[in-house]
Amino acid sequence: SGVRYKISSGNIDNVFAIHNATGALYVAKALDYEKIKKVSPQG
């Protein structure tokens, strides 16, 4: 059993996704600038 990654909080509207085995983070859907002015991953 290896390391598994997940987004534990702060993923408003599920805009980010993460590959649970590799930890690769990506934008999961189109961002709506009118709704959310700034998004950033924080570690």
* pLDDT given at position 25: 93
pLDDT block averages, 10 residues each, the chain of length 43? 88 89 92 75 62
Distance CA 23, CA 37 (A): 25
pTM: 0.66
